A and B are shown apart, each in its own frame.
Chain A
Amino acid sequence: MSNFINQLAYGLADGSILALAALGFVLIYKATGVINFAQGEFLLVGAYMFYTAFVVLQLPLVLAVVFGVVVATIIGVLVERLILRPMVGENPISIIMVTIGLSMFMKAVVQAFYGTTPKSQPAILPRSSVEFLGATIPLNRLLAIVIAAVVLTAFTIFFRRSRHGVAMRAVADDQQAAMTMGISVRRIFAMAWALAAVSALIAGVLLGDISAVDQNIAAFGLMVFPVVILGGLDSVPGTIVGGLTIGLLHQFTAAYWDAGLAGVVPYIALVLILLVRPYGIFGETRIERV
Chain B
Amino acid sequence: MAATSTGIHHRSYTSELRLRATKAEYFRLGLMTVLLLVLPFVLDNYWLSIANTIMIAVIGAVGLNILVGYTGQISLGQGGFMAVGAYSSAILSDRIGLPTPLAILLAVLLTAAVGVFFGLPGLRLKGLYLAIATLASQVIIEFLVRRDYGDFLTEGLGYLNVDRFEFLGFKIGGRDVFEQQWYWILMILAVLAVVSARNIFRTGLGRSFMAVRDQDIAAEAIGVNLTRAKLTAFAVSSAFVGLAGSLTAHYSEVVSWEKFTLDVSILYLAMIIVGGLGSVAGAVYGAIFMTLLPELIRRLANALESTLPFLGDQLPAVRNATFGAIIIAFLIFEPRGLDRIWQRMKDYFRFWPFRY
A and B bind = yes
By a beta-carbon cutoff of 8 Å, the part of chain A in contact with chain B is 35, 37, 83, 86-87, 90, 92-94, 96-98, 100-109, 111-112, 222, 225-226, 229, 233, 260-261, 263-264, 267-268, 270-271, 274-275, 278, 287-290
Kindly provide the distance from the CB of A33 to the nearest chain B CB, expressed in whole angstroms.
9
Q: How far is the CA of A156 from the CA of B129 in the complex (A)?
A: 26
- B180 interface hit (Cβ, 8 Å): no
When C-beta atoms are compared, the residue in chain B nearest to A29 turns out to be B128
Q: A111-B320, A225-B132 are in contact. List 5 more A-B contacts (CB 8 A).
A: A96-B131, A105-B320, A105-B321, A264-B140, A267-B135
When C-beta atoms are compared, the residue in chain A nearest to B272 turns out to be A97
Chain B interface size, as a band, is 35 or more
- B137 interface hit (Cβ, 8 Å): yes
Q: Is the CB of B140 within 8 A of A93?
A: no
B147 interface neighbour in A107, A109, A260, A271, Cβ under 8 Å? A260
B332 interface neighbour in A83, A96, A109, A233, Cβ under 8 Å? A83
When C-beta atoms are compared, the residue in chain A nearest to B126 turns out to be A288
- B124 interface hit (Cβ, 8 Å): yes
Kindly provide the distance from the CB of B267 to the nearest chain A CB, expressed in whole angstroms.
9
Given contacts A270-B132, A270-B136, contact A109 B321 (CB under 8 A): yes
Q: How far is the CA of A148 from the CA of B123 in the complex (A)?
A: 38
Q: Is the CB of A105 within 8 A of B135?
A: no
Q: Give the A-B pair count, Cβ closer than 8 A.
A: 133
- B72 interface hit (Cβ, 8 Å): yes
Q: How far is the CA of A230 from the CA of B128 in the complex (A)?
A: 15
- B324 interface hit (Cβ, 8 Å): yes
Which residues of B329-348 are within 8 A (CB) of A? Answer: 331-332, 335
- B166 interface hit (Cβ, 8 Å): no
Q: Is the CB of B328 within 8 A of A83?
A: yes
Q: How far is the CA of A102 from the CA of B335 in the complex (A)?
A: 16
Q: Is the CB of A105 within 8 A of B317?
A: no
- B273 interface hit (Cβ, 8 Å): yes
By a beta-carbon cutoff of 8 Å, the part of chain B in contact with chain A is 68, 72, 74, 76, 121, 124-129, 131-133, 135-137, 139-140, 143, 147, 216-217, 220, 226, 263, 266, 269-270, 273, 277, 310, 314, 316-321, 323-328, 331-332, 335
Q: How far is the CA of A261 from the CA of B263 in the complex (A)?
A: 21
Q: Is the interface of B mostly helix, strand, loop or mixed?
A: helix
Q: How far is the CA of A275 from the CA of B137 in the complex (A)?
A: 13
Q: Contacts of B126 on A, CB cut-off 8 Å?
A: 288, 290
Q: Is the CB of A267 within 8 A of B266?
A: no
Q: Contacts of A90 on B, CB cut-off 8 Å?
A: 331, 335
Given contacts A93-B74, A97-B331, A290-B226, contact A103 B147 (CB under 8 A): no
Q: Contacts of A260 on B, CB cut-off 8 Å?
A: 143, 147
Q: Is the CB of A111 within 8 A of B314?
A: yes
When C-beta atoms are compared, the residue in chain A nearest to B132 turns out to be A225
Q: Contacts of A109 on B, CB cut-off 8 Å?
A: 317, 321
Q: Contacts of A274 on B, CB cut-off 8 Å?
A: 121, 125, 129, 132-133, 136
When C-beta atoms are compared, the residue in chain B nearest to A110 turns out to be B317
When C-beta atoms are compared, the residue in chain B nearest to A41 turns out to be B324
B328 interface neighbour in A98, A233, A270, A278, Cβ under 8 Å? A98
Kindly provide the distance from the CB of A113 to the nearest chain B CB, expressed in whole angstroms.
8
A101 interface neighbour in B127, B147, B270, Cβ under 8 Å? B270
When C-beta atoms are compared, the residue in chain A nearest to B321 turns out to be A108
Q: Contacts of B270 on A, CB cut-off 8 Å?
A: 101
Q: Is the CB of B327 within 8 A of A101?
A: yes
Q: Contacts of B74 on A, CB cut-off 8 Å?
A: 93, 96-97
A271 interface neighbour in B121, B316, B335, Cβ under 8 Å? B121
Q: Contacts of A92 on B, CB cut-off 8 Å?
A: 127-128
Kindly provide the distance from the CB of B311 to the nearest chain A CB, expressed in whole angstroms.
9
Given contacts A101-B270, A112-B321, A290-B217, contact A271 B331 (CB under 8 A): no
Q: Is the CB of B127 within 8 A of A93?
A: yes
Kindly provide the distance from the CB of B257 to the nearest chain A CB, expressed in whole angstroms.
12
Q: Contacts of B323 on A, CB cut-off 8 Å?
A: 101, 104-105, 108
Q: How far is the CA of A275 from the CA of B124 in the complex (A)?
A: 8
Q: Contacts of B326 on A, CB cut-off 8 Å?
A: 101
Q: Is the CB of B139 within 8 A of A267?
A: yes
Given contacts A92-B128, A97-B273, contact A105 B328 (CB under 8 A): yes
Listed A/B pairs (5) with beta-carbon separation below 8 Å: A97-B74, A98-B327, A104-B321, A112-B317, A270-B132
Q: Is the CB of B129 within 8 A of A107?
A: no
Tell me which of A98, A100, A274, A290 has the highest count of chain B C-beta atoms within 10 A of its own C-beta.
Answer: A100
Q: How far is the CA of A278 from the CA of B269 in the complex (A)?
A: 25
Q: Is the CB of B127 within 8 A of A225?
A: no
Q: Is the CB of B269 within 8 A of A100?
A: yes
Q: How far is the CA of A97 from the CA of B323 in the complex (A)?
A: 12
